[in-house]
């Protein structure tokens, strides 16, 4: 091409582009549900899979499991306030199972499935599907298997398809967590025939189920663009509960918290998830939106002190730190008031639940006295925290550093990138760490088993070891009666307060903002939104 032609051609091509419109207009597409039938949810990031049982599934995949698949049972829903409905973890209500009966000898439970329940494919749900799905959960490995085990659901032999509509779970041992663990997001039911047909030889159809919904839940996934959006539409033939009001839900991934805030404040988004405490405090103060602030069950923000290594293997020193913590400043300065205080409680636990306020409070004299008693000379140490949650953890760390300086403890802050943080915790060498933990199954012994037990699970970040503690935790987990349970729970709570390998700071809120016309917000242990009960009026 000659250069003159080239120079002439460039602008001509640029101008011609929008005009070059062939007369083929797309065939009139089906009318999309209108704005009032559609919910627009904005969240920080979306699912990385459609299969919550699969290895490496991210937190939002719980929402997919919740909305697109059914479980045998769900937790009984309980209103919390005018905005939020919570749940009672000790009571269950039917989902796929219409009824169930525990055997008189207490060794099994038998479920009767709904006669009319169908999968999205139209095929009736059978007990074989339930068996395949639960077998999968205990065999696939990773988080799903760990979670199933927490309720003594460990082997495929425990699951029996008695007949087409009858399903039995045999108990390995008497465990109060077995039944509630059937209601969390993991043991959901797949359309096993369709999954196996598409598995391409893989026993558990991992690749197929990772990219496809293959079940019978209240919603189907119309489109999934990872990192951009997930579009759900209602399954009109859903029988495991009242038909949801919303026909369509669009969940958009909006990484920037400022943008999420602008969208909800302008009224373009219906619900906003994962709002930083500062923004949420502003939204609450502005009072224009409906807000749900649910204290996350079983969860605390804490400072862990490494009890296996010097200097914090000294109990007096740990107690001195617990008396020196700037609790109030952390709640106000780092969390903008979005949490329940976990300090300043009575010397013995106020109630036998978790979390419970510890008896410590900011009291410099007591801290100094204990520091002197401990015999520790002034020293330098390191505090690690996750850069991923730095909007919260960074001010926390700075406040702790300042508060401990008068005791002669020089704290060096070490901010660790998200990907490395868990690895760093697993090494169990950090003297101090800021972290957050909460179990789905809201029992104190469940929290203590993961965090305080001498079997040293990866959550026992302080590497705390105490045979007395272990004995009480084990006794409470499988307690034969209420009295034994209460004695042991009281025992380990008191010992936890005494030895303070973990210094609880606050119980965080799960904050969600929504427009005034949104109703029926449901909070579950997985914290993900449940579209089935949401309404838009």
Partner 1 sequence: MRGLLWRLAGSLPALAAVIVVTFVLTRVLPGDTATYFAGPTASAESIAQIRAELGLDRPLPEQFWNYLRALVQGDLGMSLTTGQPVLTDILQRLPASAELTLAGLLLAVSIAIPLGILAAVKQGSLADHACRVVVTAGVSLPVFFTGLLLVYVFYFVLGWAPAPLGRLDAFASAPPTVTGFYLVDAALIGDWETWRGALAQIVLPAATLGLFALAPIARITRASMLAVLGAEFIRTARASGLASSTIILTYALRNALLPVVTTLGMVFSFLLGANVLVEKVFAWPGIGSYAVEALIASDGAPVQGFVLTMAILYVLLNLAIDMVNRALDPRARRA
Residues of this chain that interact with partner 1 (CB under 8 A) are 1, 3, 6-7, 17-26, 29, 32, 35, 38, 40, 42, 45, 47-49, 55-59, 141-143, 145-147, 210-211, 225-229, 250, 252-256, 258-259, 262-263, 265-266, 268-269, 388, 417-420, 422-423, 426, 437, 439, 457-459
Q: How many contiguous H segments (helices) and E segments (strands) does the chain have?
A: 17, 21
Give the sign of the dihedral formed by CA 43, CA 297, CA 106, CA 493: positive
How far apart are CB 135 and partner 1 at their closest, in Å? 17
How far apart are CB 86 and partner 1 at their closest, in Å? 21
CB of 57 or CB of 518, closer to partner 1: 57
Nearest-angstrom CA–CA distance, 210 and 214:
10
Nearest-angstrom CA–CA distance, 191 and 372:
65
Nearest-angstrom CA–CA distance, 174 and 65:
28
Nearest-angstrom CA–CA distance, 534 and 518:
7
Contact 333, 323 (CB under 8 A): no
**∠ CA(461), CA(467), CA(470), 5° rounding?**
65
Contact 295, 509 (CB under 8 A): yes
How far apart are CB 35 and partner 1 at their closest, in Å? 6
β-pairing verdict for 38-43 and 248-253: parallel
Element containing residue 448 per DSSP (H, E): helix 444-451
How far apart are CB 423 and partner 1 at their closest, in Å? 4
CB of 51 or CB of 95, closer to partner 1: 51
CB of 437 or CB of 478, closer to partner 1: 437
How far apart are CB 228 and partner 1 at their closest, in Å? 4
How far apart are CB 368 and partner 1 at their closest, in Å? 36
Q: Distance from first CA to last CA of the chain, Å, rounded?
A: 63
β-pairing verdict for 73-79 and 84-94: antiparallel
How far apart are CB 501 and partner 1 at their closest, in Å? 19
CB of 101 or CB of 456, closer to partner 1: 456
* Phi, psi dihedral angles at 276 (to 5 degrees): -60, 150
Strands of 235-288, DSSP E: 248-253, 271-272
Of the candidates 523, 527, 511, which has an alpha carbon nearest to the alpha carbon of residue 336?
511
CB of 142 or CB of 310, closer to partner 1: 142
CB of 399 or CB of 425, closer to partner 1: 425
How far apart are CB 372 and partner 1 at their closest, in Å? 38
CB of 39 or CB of 473, closer to partner 1: 39
Radius of gyration of the chain (CA): 26
Q: How many CA atoms lie within 13 A of 95 on its CB side?
A: 26
Contact 43, 229 (CB under 8 A): no
**∠ CA(51), CA(216), CA(191), 5° rounding?**
65
CB of 36 or CB of 484, closer to partner 1: 36
CB of 252 or CB of 401, closer to partner 1: 252
Of the candidates 169, 187, 186, 183, which has an alpha carbon nearest to the alpha carbon of residue 89?
183
Angle, helices 315-324 vs 364-374, to 10°: value is: 160
How far apart are CB 21 and partner 1 at their closest, in Å? 4
CB of 103 or CB of 203, closer to partner 1: 203
> Biggest alpha carbon distance in the chain?
95
Helix (H, G, I), strand (E, B) or coil at 249: strand
CB of 389 or CB of 491, closer to partner 1: 389
How far apart are CB 426 and partner 1 at their closest, in Å? 6
CB of 48 or CB of 166, closer to partner 1: 48
Alpha-carbon distance values, 458 to 184, 373, 393, 435, 450 (Å): 22, 32, 20, 13, 8
How far apart are CB 334 and partner 1 at their closest, in Å? 20
How far apart are CB 413 and partner 1 at their closest, in Å? 17
Nearest-angstrom CA–CA distance, 185 and 526:
7
């Amino acid at each position: 091409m000659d250069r003159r032609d080239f120079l002439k051609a460039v602008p001509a091509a640029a101008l011609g582009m929008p005009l070059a419109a062939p007369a083929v207009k797309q065939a009139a597409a089906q009318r999309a549900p209108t704005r009032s039938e559609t919910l627009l949810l904005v969240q920080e990031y979306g699912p990385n899979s459609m299969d919550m049982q699969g290895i490496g599934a991210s937190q939002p995949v719980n929402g997919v499991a919740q909305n697109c698949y059914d479980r045998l049972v769900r937790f009984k829903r309980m209103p919390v306030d005018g905005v939020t409905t919570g749940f009672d973890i000790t009571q269950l209500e039917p989902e796929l199972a219409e009824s169930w009966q525990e055997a008189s000898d207490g060794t099994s439970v038998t479920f009767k499935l709904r006669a009319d329940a169908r999968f999205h494919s139209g095929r009736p749900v059978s007990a074989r599907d339930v068996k395949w799905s639960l077998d999968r959960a205990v065999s696939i490995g990773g988080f799903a298997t760990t979670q199933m085990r927490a309720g003594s659901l460990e082997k495929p032999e425990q699951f029996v398809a008695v007949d087409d509509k009858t399903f039995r779970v045999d108990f390995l041992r008497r465990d109060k967590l077995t039944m509630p663990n059937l209601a969390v997001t993991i043991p959901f039911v797949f359309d096993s025939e369709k999954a196996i047909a598409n598995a391409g030889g893989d026993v558990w159809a991992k690749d197929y189920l990772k990219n496809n919904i293959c079940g019978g839940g209240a919603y189907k996934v119309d489109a999934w663009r990872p990192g951009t959006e997930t579009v759900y539409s209602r399954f009109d033939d859903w029988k495991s509960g009242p038909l949801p009001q919303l026909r369509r839900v669009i969940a958009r991934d909006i990484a920037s918290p400022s943008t999420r805030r602008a969208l909800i404040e302008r009224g373009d988004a219906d619900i906003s998830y994962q709002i930083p405490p500062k923004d949420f405090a502003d939204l609450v103060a502005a009072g224009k939106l409906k807000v749900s602030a649910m204290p996350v069950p079983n969860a605390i923000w804490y400072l862990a002190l490494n009890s296996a290594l010097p200097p914090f293997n000294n109990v007096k020193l740990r107690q001195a730190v617990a008396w020196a913590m700037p609790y109030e400043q952390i709640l106000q300065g780092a969390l903008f008031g979005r949490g329940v205080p976990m300090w300043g409680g009575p010397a013995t636990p106020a109630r036998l639940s978790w979390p419970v306020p510890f008896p410590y409070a900011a009291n410099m004299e007591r801290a100094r006295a204990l520091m002197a008693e401990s015999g520790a000379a002034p020293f330098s140490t390191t505090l690690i925290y996750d850069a991923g949650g730095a909007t919260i953890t960074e001010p926390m760390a700075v406040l702790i550093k300042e508060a401990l300086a008068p005791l002669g403890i020089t704290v060096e802050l070490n901010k660790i990138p998200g990907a490395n943080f868990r690895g760093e915790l697993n090494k169990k060498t950090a003297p101090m760490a800021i972290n957050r933990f909460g179990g789905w199954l809201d029992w104190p012994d469940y929290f203590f088993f993961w965090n305080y037990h001498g079997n040293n699970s990866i959550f026992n970040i302080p590497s705390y070891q105490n045979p007395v503690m272990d004995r009480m935790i084990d006794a409470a987990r499988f307690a034969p009666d209420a009295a034994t349970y209460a004695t042991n729970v009281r025992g380990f709570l008191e010992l936890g307060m005494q030895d303070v390998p973990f210094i609880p700071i606050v119980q965080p809120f799960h904050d969600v903002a929504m427009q005034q016309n949104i109703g029926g917000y449901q909070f579950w242990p997985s914290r993900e939104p449940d579209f089935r009960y949401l309404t838009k009026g």
